[in-house]
């Protein structure tokens, strides 16, 4: 993704937040995201495009539409994750996973995960790639297992899963 792709990134994110699983899959609501000014979306896209500290991967459909995306955040030691737990080692955290309904069950999700994990493990000092999934989100957990993630912990109502 490139920084100037922010309008498409915004559209896809807002669509993801309308998905029936959104309340257990994302930390923000559609209303919160839709209320953000364009500068928010521009900054977000710049921070997850090439040259930024994180990376958003996008899969295109056959007509060039965005079929889905996944974002990788680099977590630095000495900080805390979103649960308040300390980060002890430089690691990657996969977030914002979404595939449009018409592209689910095919190659979009596996290809996104392959690209995200490969990028994360190629970064300096990253040896661990993880994600969280709500205990009631069986559809997502199954996709993560197929992509090579295994449960490693239970944190509240979330399973932490690590790429193996």
Q: pLDDT digit string (tens) for 53-93? A: 899 999 998 888 899 999 999 999 999 998 899 999 999 99
How is residue 12 written in tokens?
A: 């896809």
What 3-state DSSP class applies to 158?
strand
**DSSP-assigned states of every residue in 97-140:** EEE-GGGTTTTHHHHHHHHHHHHHHHSTT---EEEEEETT-HHH
Residue 51 has pLDDT above 80, yes or no: no
For the beta carbon of residue 74, count every other beta carbon within 10 angstroms.
Answer: 17
Q: Which of 22-36, 41-55, 69-83, 86-100 has the lowest mean pLDDT?
A: 41-55
For the beta carbon of residue 129, count every other beta carbon within 10 angstroms.
Answer: 24
How is residue 95 written in tokens?
A: 């977030």
What 3-state DSSP class applies to 16?
helix
Contact criterion met (CB below 8 Å) for 102 and 40: no
| H helix intervals, the chain | 6-16, 22-25, 30-34, 38-47, 108-122, 138-146
For residue 41, what pLDDT band results from cuts at 50, 70 and 90?
Answer: very high
How is residue 100 written in tokens?
A: 């449009």
Q: Which of 23-37, 38-52, 143-157 has the lowest mean pLDDT?
A: 38-52
Q: Look up the pTM and report it.
A: 0.91
């Amino acid at each position: 993704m490139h920084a100037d792709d922010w309008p498409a990134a915004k559209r896809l994110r807002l669509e993801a937040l309308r998905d029936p699983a959104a309340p257990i899959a994302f930390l923000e609501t559609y209303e919160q995201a839709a209320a953000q000014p364009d500068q928010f979306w521009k900054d977000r896209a710049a921070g997850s495009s090439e040259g930024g500290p994180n990376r958003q991967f996008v899969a295109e459909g056959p007509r060039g539409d965005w079929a889905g995306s996944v974002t990788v955040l680099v977590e630095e030691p000495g900080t805390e994750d979103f649960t308040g737990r300390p980060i002890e080692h430089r690691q990657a955290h996969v977030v914002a996973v979404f595939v449009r309904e018409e592209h689910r069950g095919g190659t979009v999700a596996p290809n996104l995960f392959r690209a995200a994990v490969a990028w994360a493990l190629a970064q300096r000092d990253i040896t661990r790639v993880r994600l969280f999934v709500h205990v009631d989100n069986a559809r997502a957990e199954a996709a993560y297992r197929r992509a090579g993630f295994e449960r490693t912990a239970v944190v509240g109502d979330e399973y932490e899963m690590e790429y193996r």
